[in-house]
Amino acid sequence: MKSSGIGGQAVIEGIMMKNGTKYSVAVRKENKEIALKTDEFLGVCYDNKLTKMPFVRGIFSFIDSLLLGSKCLNFSASFFEEEEEQKESKLEKALRGILGDKLEKVLITCSTVFAVIMAIGIFMLLPAIISNFLKGFISSVFLLSLVEGIIRIGIFVGYVVLISLMDEIKRVFMYHGAEHKCINCIENGLELTVKNVMKSSKQHKRCGTSFMLIVMVISILFFMVIRVDTLWLRLLSRVLLIPVIAGVSYEFLRLAGNSNSKLVDILSRPGMWLQNLTTKEPTEDMVEVAICAVEEVFDWKSYVKENFNKKVKEGAN
């Protein structure tokens, strides 16, 4: 199965789909109409050969996904804000007076940076601090690194489980399922209809959930090899190695999305299992939103004809 190359993200009551530099956001408004936005996103280092090199492109792709994701989330949220909430505060007016049209971009960048710092603190540094208290009980560096990795995965899974209990997040996870189902429908050579999408799988190898799990597993391997005794050096190494770990993880995820290898399939399964927490079965009206987003940026009929050498067909994958 050849990857379609398209990817996406669930937003508030909607879906973002991206193909190359073009992206679309489809949102189901309160009046049940679907709002569509199509635009181009070039990324932080567009057309730079260095940022497209293997094991380097992963970190830049991750940054781009965070920036675009924040932008699309803000767009979807704008349809559900109360009128009084839409009125700018004095601070917002002052910032707009200084930054003008760049205000939204600056706010998105700042929120993305803050989210990354929080994620590094919770998922990378906190497990190292917790495991440091166990040094008196565990003498083996390899075992201590393994314990740290298990703590890291436990914190991540616990975090996902907790947020999945929120009704708003449950709906986001349902749209996440709709996004995966659309891509799987196309990549299995089926006509992009609500019926076919509903019958498709809600798990996909190129999911961000799988990427996060791969990052944590690969980090265990790295930290088993890199031995640092003092806590502050250990914490520094966790931060400095993030780009390297992200780069390696991205290449594996890229390989998984384009490979039919049995070995790659087996290695991808833990990430696919974890997706059961971050994807839920969508309703038909959610699938309609996802289809709208896909068709704005991707010619799925040409893809099916080229890769399956036949006309689009109906049926389950």
What is the distance between the alpha carbons of residues 173 and 284, in angstroms, rounded to a whole number? 14
What is the distance between the alpha carbons of residues 250 and 98, in angstroms, rounded to a whole number? 38
Task: For residue 83, name the pLDDT band (cuts at 50, 70, 90).
Answer: very low
**pLDDT score of 103:** 67
User: Average per-residue pLDDT in the chain?
Assistant: 87
169: phi then psi, degrees, rounded to nearest 5: -70, -35
What are 9's strand-pairing partners?
16
| Token digits of residue 199 | 């019958």
Query: Do 141 and 227 touch, CB atoms closer than 8 A?
Result: yes
Q: Taking residues 177-188, what's their average pLDDT?
A: 95
Closest CA to 225 of 209, 248, 208: 248
Q: Taking residues 159-187, what's their average pLDDT?
A: 94
User: How far from 127 is each of 114, 218, 219, CA to CA, in Å?
Assistant: 19, 15, 12
Query: Do 26 and 35 touch, CB atoms closer than 8 A?
Result: yes
The H-or-E segment that residue 15 falls in is strand 14-19
**pLDDT score of 154:** 95
Strand-by-strand arrangement of the 22-28 sheet: 7-11, 14-19, 22-28, 34-40
49 in helix, strand or coil? coil
- Is a pLDDT exceeding 60 seen at residue 7? yes
| Token digits of residue 149 | 């990795």
Greatest CA span in the chain, whole angstroms? 65
Express each pLDDT in 90-121 by its tens digit.
656 666 666 666 667 777 778 878 888 999 99
Q: Where are the domains of the chain?
A: 7-86+112-308
**pLDDT score of 203:** 93
What is the distance between the alpha carbons of residues 78 and 119, in angstroms, rounded to a whole number? 25
Task: Tell me what percent of the residues of the chain surpass a pLDDT of 70.
Answer: 89
Q: How many CB atoms lie within 10 A of CB 257?
A: 22
Express each pLDDT in 193-251 by its tens digit.
999 999 999 999 889 899 999 999 999 989 888 878 788 999 999 999 999 999 999 99
What is the distance between the alpha carbons of residues 4 and 16, in angstroms, rounded to a whole number? 16
Q: How many CA atoms lie within 13 A of 240 on its CB side?
A: 8
Kindly give, in sequence order, each residue whose CB lies less than 8 Å from that of residue 315, ignoring residues fewer than 6 positions away: 190, 196, 199
Q: How many CB atoms lie within 10 A of CB 260?
A: 8
Helix axes 242-258, 57-77, angle to 10 degrees: 80
22 in helix, strand or coil? strand
- Is a pLDDT exceeding 80 seen at residue 188? yes
Express each pLDDT in 282-301 by its tens digit.
999 999 999 999 999 999 99
What is the distance between the alpha carbons of residues 251 and 52, in angstroms, rounded to a whole number? 12
User: What is the pairing mode between strands 7-11 and 22-28?
Assistant: unpaired
| The residue count for the chain | 317
